[in-house]
Structures are given as structure tokens and as C-alpha cells.
Amino acid sequence: MSSERVGSIISISGPVVSAKGIPDIKIGEVVYVGEERLLGEVVRVARDHFVVQVYEDTGGVRPEEPVYASGKLLVAELGPGLMSSVFDGVQRPLNVILEKTGPFIRRGVKVNALPRDKKWEFKPTVKVGDKVSPGDVIGTVQETSMIEHRIMVPPGISGVVKEIHEGNFTVEDTVAVIETASGQVELNMIQEWPVRRPRPFAERLTSEVPLIIGQRVIDTFFPVAKGGAAAIPGGFGTGKTVTLHKVAMYSDSQVVIYIGCGERGNEIAEMLKEFPELIDPKSGKSIMERSIIIANTSNMPVSAREASIYMGITMAEYYRDQGYHVTLIADSTSRWAEALREISGRLGEMPVERGYPAYLPDRIAEFYERGGRVRALGSPEREGSVTVLGAVSPPGGDFNEPVTIHTLRFVGTMWALDPELAYRRHFPAINWLRSFSQYAEIVERWWVKNVAEDFPRYRAKALRLLTVSSEIEAIASVVGESALPDDQRLILLAAEILKEGFLRQTALTGVDVFCPPLKQYWLLKLMIDFFDRAYDLITRRVSVEEIVNLPEVYEMMRVKEDERDLDAVKELYQRVMAKLDSIAKRHGVVLEQTPMSG
């Protein structure tokens, strides 16, 4: 650090420090504060002073202590070694800090994000004399058994390959030399990128393919497309974190980045203990081999919580540029917004709704809009995506508070968690009347092509049935179910089968933890075809009691857990249709035959 760019502290207010003495300081520049050189970032510049938000505890720091300017923006260090790592909010690897300082993070500790001593086997994909441009893949490294790390030419560099090496190298070793118009540039395996600036890409593509999660209420009714954005708002105990863990484990994305942003320390600790033990169902290997965790708990400095979101999305964009489909999980954006509110208050900015800064909607929009499906820069041509899933923790479960309201403006899907469903032990506790998905009609084309042509019809009928049943339930709560006409009693029965047999799903063990798309379709077909044919019988004067008392009614609620999986659903379908045909024959009724498909 240059001695010419040293200032001094004027005042300290929690994580916000005012300083003077560096006239050429810039917004966003990283500085080191105090004798212990605490990491900070410049957030305001005035004529005679500047303001820094410090990413570490400022207890004991005094006025007149020095402030050192670095000349750099806050950047993410990108390269082999990110995968399987656990970082804090400013990308310090927690396992390295544990070895260096013990179980508590000591102030001022400096560690590299990527290991400098580990050697990686670099295999070139270009040769001497090749022309390269930003984003071109010049070689590969096997980062984990599941992830091939593609080493790319950094943005802003183009020219001719003068040297390219093969062998085992550290991330700092030179692997290629590029002859550019302004001279030779040596490339190693590290890229640095300012976290608050989106990484460039060649073209933004439409999001048409669903992110398959294996949770029926999500995949069938409220899907999110790869490259889309979803919010999962809900109060304490409604199952946000468990649902997001299921997404991390079972979604068909290739890379998962999990940001524990301001959550309780014991919850993050439990996740860090359990996550490495989880097995990826597709490969049979630890899920950590395709995951990165950013752990910034509620007792860590509030400024680092604000930075953690940007650090995570920058890493996600980096793997997207390599051609991977990435899922970024932010748990929770409410805690991030609270960090914005605290810093804003200490800066003396004018508050608006519930004390949040006026720029809260802009920051939320900036975050979610960095998701998307894109064609990456460079060659070979490759496509990647970042799907952003943000948990929102509204105080008291109030969906009308600012963070939830503004988030819903910028996402395409909402999975609204309902405390009443959670109290009834119905999980996932996603309320099918309050949730929505703007991707549903877009991804239906994928379901029609890959699963069944009549899937959209069954989905629409099921949603309609659930809506009508909620209206009938309101009447039944007044007059009693027994006073309802037979057709309305059948609607309530069919809705109960849907809720128990389709919407409710285990999160822990058993065959029902993950439900593939074809099984989702057959379960839906079973229940809707049952309702249609039974309704036809009711309109022909057949008593609803004959249908209610069928033993197959209970089986429809439990067949999802049958070890025979899809075969059990198809076998039950045949039996249910045969039983209804038998009732129709007994009453001299001819039912229309339902076509078999899927």
C-alpha cells in the first residue's frame, strides 16, 4: 500500500467510519481501517472527508488511527478452489480462518479466497497462434469429480496465444501468454471481478425450461424457469430453509450457491454439519462437490451481510459464464435489507417505509435482475443460467411489508408459505391460493414435449378444483358438510385427495422426497380422472356415499409413498377406473372412457 494514500479516522459510528486525508479516494474503493487494518469499502465521498462501511467489528477503533487506500474495488476472487468451500460475507474461507485463529474470527485477519499452495492439472484447449477474445476457454481443470472448471480469457483481453502450458500449476502460476495490441499479457487461473458490477455476456435468452425440484406443488403448479427468479416469503417456522435445502439437494441445476445471509448461527452451523453429508441423487456423491456456501450469520458484522449477496451472485455469474446452470439461494433477503437499513441510518439518509432507505427497491431489482439465461462470451459457444431464489422473512408473516412488496415486483414466482398449513404439519406449507408463477405457461411447452400432451389440462383443472373447494369450505363451516349437495361434497373429497395425496410431501426420507415429472403427471391424472368420472356418476343420481366409501380413496392419498413408485400409481389408476365403471354398470350408466397417455 502506498504511503501517499493514507488518511486518518475522524469519527466512528458502529460499522460506519468517517475519515479524511485521501483527496483522490473513489466510491467503492476498498480501504483498510485502523491499526489492525480492518477491511472496509468507501460508500460516500465529500469535499473534505469520505465515509467507509467496515466489514469487521469496529469496537476499540479510535479517531486519528490511519486509513489505508488500496486502489481496488471490492472484488470476488474467481478460479479453481471455489467449489466445496465455505466463505464469510467478504469471501474469506472459514476453514482457513479456523486453522489460523481458532473458532472465532479475529479482527483484521487476512486470508486468500483461493488456496495458493494447491496444484491443479491444467489441460489446454487452445494452441500457440490461436486468436482469443474475452470469454474464450483456453483450458480446463477438474475442480471436483462433478465440476470441470473452464479457464476463460478475462474480459478486456484479446490477442494471439504466444505461449500455452500443460501440467500441474497453482492458481497464481502463468498458464498462458497472450500477445495483445498493447503488449504481452500473462494469464493465470485467477480472475478478479467487482462484485457490484454484473459480468458481461453475449446475449440474454428467454427462460423456457423449468428448474425441476421434485416438489410437486412447485414443479406442477408454481414452477420457476432456469434463469428465472422466485421469492419464498413466510414467517418463522413455516419451512423456508427446509424447502430451500430441498432445492439445493434435488434441483437439476449443476451448481448451487447458498448464501446464509443474517440467519441464526445455530441454524447455519446445523446446515454446515448436515450439508456435506447429503448425497447428490444423480451422482451418488456429496452435494458439496457442486456447492459453495457463504455463511454470514446474524452475529457477524452487518456490513459484511450486505456484501454477501453481491459476492454470491458474482460467483454464480462466473460459473454461468463457464456454461453451467446455477441456482443461487439467498436466505434471507430480509436480513440483507435490514443491513441496508442500519447502514443507511448511520449514514443519516432519509428513511421511507418502516425505516428502509428510499433506494431499497432499486437494490432488490439489481440483485434479482442479475439472474437469467444467457449465451456466454467467447468460444466454444455455451449457454448458462443463474436462477435466483430469495427467502423473505416478513415480521409477523406480514406480506404487506416493504421487502416482500418490492421483491414481488421483480420476481416471476412466489411460493407463499402459510403458517396455518405449517401448524397442521402440511409441508411444503405453500399456499396454493396465494402463490403464483408467471413462468407456468412458458414451461408448459416443456411438459407437453417431455412428459404428456394433456398435462396443461390436468394442471388447470386441479387449480380450479382447489379454488372452488375453498369457496365451498367457507359455506360448509357454517352449515356443516352433511348439509351440502352431493356434487359439492364430491368436490371437497377430491380437493382433500389432492391436498393430502399430491400437495403434501415429505422432506426427510422415503420414496416421496423427490417426485420426478412423470410421476407428478400420473398422480395428477389419477386424481383428476377420478373426480371427472365420479362427478359424472353424481350427475346421474348415484349417491356420493358409494364413492366416498371406496377403499381406493384412501389409497390415492398414500400411493405417493409406495415403494413401487410409478408402477404403483398406474396400477391404482386401473383399479380406480374399474371400480367407478363397476358402480356405473350397477346403475345402468355409461361413462366416457378416459384415454391413457403419458
pLDDT in tens, 509-547: 788 999 999 999 999 999 999 999 999 999 988 899 999
Q: Render pLDDT for 194-239 as a digit per residue (tens, 0 to 9).
A: 999 999 999 999 989 999 999 999 999 999 999 999 999 998 888 8
> For the residues 249-278, what does the mean pLDDT come to?
83
Least confident of 99-103, 450-454, 589-593: 589-593
Report the 10 Å Cβ neighbour count for 420. Answer: 10
> What is the rounded CA–CA span in Å between residue 18 and residue 467?
56
Would you state the CATH architecture of domain 203-438?
3-Layer(aba) Sandwich (3.40)
For residue 359, give every residue at least 6 positions away whose Cβ sits within 8 Å of its Cβ, in sequence order, or none: none
Q: Which residues of 11-46 are buried (b: 16+ CB within 10 A; e: fewer)?
A: ebebbbbbbebbeebeeebbbbbbeebbbbbbbebe
Tell me, what's the pLDDT at 4?
66
> For the residues 142-163, what does the mean pLDDT come to?
95
- 11 SS3 class: strand
**What is the pLDDT confidence band of residue 109, given thresholds at 50, 70 and 90?**
confident
Tell me, what's the pLDDT at 274?
76
Boundaries of every domain in the chain: 3-73, 120-189, 203-438, 455-586
**Mean pLDDT score of the chain, rounded to an integer?**
92
- pLDDT value at 490 more than 90: yes
- pLDDT value at 65 more than 60: yes
Residues paired with 296 in a beta bridge = 261
> For the residues 473-495, what does the mean pLDDT come to?
90
Tell me, what's the pLDDT at 510?
81
Would you state the CATH architecture of domain 120-189?
Beta Barrel (2.40)
> What is the rounded CA–CA span in Å between residue 288 and residue 562?
30
- pLDDT value at 401 more than 60: yes
Tell me, what's the pLDDT at 594?
58
Q: Which residues of 78-100 are buried (b: 16+ CB within 10 A; e: fewer)?
A: bbbbbbbbbbbbbbbbbebbeee
Least confident of 109-113, 267-271, 466-470, 536-540: 267-271
pTM above 0.75, yes or no: yes
> For the residues 251-262, what does the mean pLDDT come to?
91
Using a pLDDT cut of 90, give the percent of the chain over it. 76
Would you state the CATH architecture of domain 455-586?
Orthogonal Bundle (1.10)
- pLDDT value at 597 more than 70: no
Tell me, what's the pLDDT at 369?
95
Give me the CATH topology for the region 3-73. Answer: Elongation Factor Tu (Ef-tu); domain 3 (2.40.30)
> What is the rounded CA–CA span in Å between residue 377 and residue 150?
13
For residue 151, give every residue at least 6 positions away whose Cβ sits within 8 Å of its Cβ, in sequence order, or none: 79, 80, 122, 137, 138, 139, 140, 141, 175, 187, 189
Tell me, what's the pLDDT at 283?
79
**What is the pLDDT confidence band of residue 249, given thresholds at 50, 70 and 90?**
confident
Q: Render pLDDT for 281-320 as a digit per residue (tens, 0 to 9).
A: 777 888 889 999 998 887 778 888 889 999 999 999 999 9
Tell me, what's the pLDDT at 577?
94
Question: 220: phi > 0 → left, psi -120 to 50 → alpha, else beta; which?
Answer: alpha
Q: Which residues of 537-573 are buried (b: 16+ CB within 10 A; e: fewer)?
A: bbeeebebebbeebebbebbbebbebeebbebbbebb
**What is the pLDDT confidence band of residue 593, given thresholds at 50, 70 and 90?**
low
- pLDDT value at 1 more than 60: no
> What is the rounded CA–CA span in Å between residue 61 and residue 11?
10
